[in-house]
Structure 1
Amino acid sequence: MHGHQIRRAAQVDRTELWSDVKPGSLYGALHRMQVEGVIEAVRTEQEGNRPARTIYALTSAGAAELIDHRDEALRDTKLRHDPVDLALQNVIDLGEDALRAIIVARRKALAEQLDAWLALRELAAPHIRGLEWTTFRHTELRLRTELAWHDELLDQLPKLMANQPTSMTTS
């Protein structure tokens, strides 16, 4: 595929869920991957007056690396730290009302993400096959769990703030 096809495929495959490559840096990433030997330029094509496009293919080393990344992702069970947990440990300078407003806004954003995800699943439903259903469900459950945690936090916030230290220094 050429770069534009790769970008479109990455959008369809939701590459942003497992990669930090943004559309604007795709060509730089392709160049780095070519230098690393995981892809190779196989030919250049030109249609009409459009610029010439380089067609890339996965090398055998690239296919092996892809399998390694897949297998590592399937085995990895490490629960990653959520930055919000650290932030909540350092809210001494925020009053309860200010913190509540932040948490309510976070919850609203997460609810919007869930709504958008469910709409995307509905739109994609005719094209979803096999295990793709489980990936949609996994994301849905993660968002629902985040919403439940935010609801619990908002419910317990007065009690939690009452027990909060009043300064960052501890004895």
Structure 2
Amino acid sequence: MNSSRLFVLGMLARKGPMHGHQIRRAAQIDRTDMWADVKPGSLYGALHRMEGEGLIEAVRTEQEGRMPARTVYGITEEGRRELHAQRDEALRRVSLPPDPADLALLFTGDMAEQTLGGVLRNRREAYATQLQAMRNMREEVDAYLTDLERMTFQHTLARLETEVAWHDEVLRRLPKLIADDDRHPDRHPDRHPDRHPGRSARPDTPEGDSA
């Protein structure tokens, strides 16, 4: 599934012929980079590729004042079939991509608590900033949203709220989490002879007894 294709084809099917600047502007206004994995800067390239594949076609050019002439694109029948395929795949896919930070967190034993705490606070603030930006945007456009569009906003808000809450919980428990991890046998095998690489476990029979 390609989010850029889905966005461009969906916009052309929904609103009719548009030029690249209009499509990019719509993505910027909707902040698709925050909730839909669509980067506005990538859309011009997507347009050219889809035109080459016959999914969209140039229907006319438009020029406003001294601005350069712009090509207006429309969706083709093949493009509609591609739109339906992209949409159906996206609706059927159940995906929560793993966060690499979860893996990295397991290997922070050599980081000072203050350093790790600072990194986690920065991550928390970044998510909180995104959350507030999405809340502000929701308030600004709420009067123009359909109920279905409101639900897509709510989905993104819920995910961001969860990230902020998780970081708050980790930061609150960080000293104990570090202490517990530091006491784990795998962290310092030299403190636990039975777990030390190359060292055999103690025999079950008392020392000096023969087998």
Same fold (TM over 0.5): yes
Is structure 2 residue 49 aligned with structure 1 residue 47? no
Which stretch of the first structure deviates more once superposed, 41-50 or 92-101?
41-50
| Map 1:25-40 → 2, pairs under 5 A | 25-40=42-57
SS in 2 for 1:120: helix
Any unmatched runs of 5+ in structure 1?
Answer: none
**Residue 97 in structure 1 maps to residue 114 in structure 2:** yes
Whether the 8 Å CA contact 1:21–1:29 is kept in 2: the answer is no
Partner of 1:153: 170
Q: Does 1:127 align with 2:127?
A: no
Residues in 1 aligned to 2:47 and 2:188: alpha-carbon distance in whole angstroms = 52
Give the secondary structure class of the aligned counterpart of 1:77.
Answer: coil
Q: How many positions carry a matched residue from both structures?
A: 168
1:72 is the counterpart of 2:97? no
Code of the residue aligned with 2:66 in structure 1: it is N
Q: Distance in 2 between matches of 1:19 and 1:146?
A: 17
What's the CA shift for 1:145? 0.8
Match of 1:112 in 2: 129
Considering only CA atoms, is the larger Rg found in Structure 1 or Structure 2? 2
Question: Does the 8 A contact of 2:28 with 2:40 survive in 1?
Answer: no
The secondary structure found in structure 2 opposite 1:80 is coil
2:147 is paired with a residue whose SS is coil
Partners in 2 of 1:18 and 1:166 — Cα distance? 44
1:92, 1:166 within 8 Å by CA — same for their partners in 2?
A: no
- RMSD over aligned CA atoms reads 2.0
Q: Within the alignment, does 1:85 sit opposite 2:78 as a pair? A: no
What TM-score do you get using the length of structure 1 for normalisation? 0.87
User: In 1, Cα distance between the equivalents of 2:50 and 2:39?
Assistant: 12
Once the 2 structures are TM-superposed, how far is the Cα of residue 19 of structure 1 from its aligned partner? 4.1
Taking a change above 3 Å as real, the CA distance of residues 79 and 68 of structure 1, as seen in their structure-2 partners, is same
Query: Structure 1 residues 128, 110: closer, same or farther in 2, change over 3 A?
Result: same
In the superposition, relative to structure 1, how do residues 47 and 105 fare at CA in structure 2: closer, same or farther (>3 Å)?
Answer: closer
Work out the CA distance in 1 between the residues paired with 2:188 and 2:68. 63
Distance 1:98 1:166 in 2: 21
Native 8 Å contact 1:107 1:150 kept in 2 = yes
Extract unaligned runs of 5+ from structure 2: 1-17, 190-195, 198-211
Identity percentage of aligned residues: 54
